[in-house]
Chains A and B, each alone.
Chain A
Amino acid sequence: MGKFNKTGKREMPALNTSSLPDLIFTLLFFFMIVTTMREVTLKVQFKLPQGTELEKLEKKSLVTFIYIGEPTQEYRAKMGTESRIQLNDSYAEVSEVQDFIFQERSSMREDEQAMMTVSLKVDQKTKMGIVTDVKNALRQAYALKINYSAVSKD
């Protein structure tokens, strides 16, 4: 009896932190895997339109992006505020869209070319005229699977 009643100073055992690096590494690897780095620097600014019936964009490697919107602040002086198309890293005209699609398609694997999707990231205030021109160019280039990028409304 009385065994529980130990007297004397008790020291708090130090917390074993030797596995802490492993924990952090696990997290690190998780983020390394899910990270997708932004490949292009945006030269146009856009606020995506809102929708409710959205579908997820599958297979990032098969997706080509076309951006349409007003030039960002630093290019305003040169380009004005008219809506512009951006392909890869530079501004482009509608006539260049077709070549761009062919180029992108030839860089894909042959069996994946048919599944190519073009995602249109267009500012919500853009006039439909320019969008229609791009759509027609895409039709001419036989890039028929498209996706109007939007954010869900809630």
Chain B
Amino acid sequence: MAKGKRKVPDINSSSTADIAFLLLIFFLITTSMDTDRGLARRLPPPPEQKDQENTDKIKERNVLQVYLNKDDQLMCGDEYISVNQLRGKAKEFIANADNDEAKPERIQKDIPFFGLTMITDKHVISLQNDRGSSYQAYISVQNELVAAYNELRNELALQKWQKNYAELTEDQQKAIRDIYPQRISEAEPKKYGEKK
């Protein structure tokens, strides 16, 4: 005596919310939202032959020597400085605004947007550390050097376009990068007590 139409009973869905909550909480806990950040660097390719080292001489005025010893003391040029002073030193060196004899030579170069500009194309910041220096000190030094470049680039961008470097177009950024090319070289570290 079945009736023609039987109604399928509704599935009680009041607990779906609870199940979803459970899953949600699981993912909330396992999620690590922190994006990895760090200082990006490019290593030089390995030397082809050991005996064929640096045939092209770099003039002394073009090099800024930065040493970090095993006690995390910093030497820039020929004086002890603190990490905070390094940024200013590096900026002075890279820009060489007042055409100092002791600072890197400026070469005229044609740069898009800027026309003929005097740039310190050949400057090198040479960083040498001891095998006993701490990693934090090393990163601080690297950080200050990158900061020096970033500040110079930003200043130039503000001066030319009244905008921050990050807001410029790709071409404009490249032009600024041409004016302030990042040249940080890392020498083989010395071992304390080892003669070289």
Contact = CB atoms under 8 A, between A and B. Distances in A.
B135 A55 contact: no
A128 B43 contact: no
Contact of A24 (B24, B44, B142, B189): B24
Contacts of B28: 31
Given A28-B20, A124-B134, A126-B135, A51 B39 contact: yes
B41 interface: yes
A113 interface: no
A150 B37 contact: yes
A81 interface: no
A55 B166 CA distance: 12
A51 B140 contact: yes
Interface string B123-162: 0000001111111101110110011001000000000000
B135 A122 contact: yes
B37 A55 contact: yes
Interface stretch (A8-16, A86-94, A99-107, A139-147): A139-147
Contact of B41 (A60, A148, A151): A148
B1 interface: no
B36 A119 contact: yes
B: contact size bracket: 35 or more
B146 A49 contact: no
B135 A128 contact: yes
A123 B136 CA distance: 8
Contacts of B24: 24, 27-28, 31
Nearest to B14: A17
A132 interface: yes
A124 B139 contact: yes
Contacts of B138: 128, 131
Nearest to A57: B36
Contact of B43 (A57, A122, A123, A139): A139
B67 to A, nearest CB: 12
Interface in B10-41: 13-14, 16-17, 20-21, 23-24, 27-28, 30-33, 35-41
Contact of B134 (A18, A63, A125, A138): A125
Contacts of A78: none
Contact of A139 (B37, B39, B45, B129): B45
Given A123-B135, A125-B135, A56 B35 contact: yes
Interface of B: 13-14, 16-17, 20-21, 23-24, 27-28, 30-33, 35-46, 129-136, 138-140, 142-143, 146-147, 150, 188-189, 191
Interface of A: 17-18, 20-21, 24-25, 27-28, 31-32, 34-38, 49-57, 60, 63, 119-120, 122-129, 131-132, 135, 138-140, 142-152
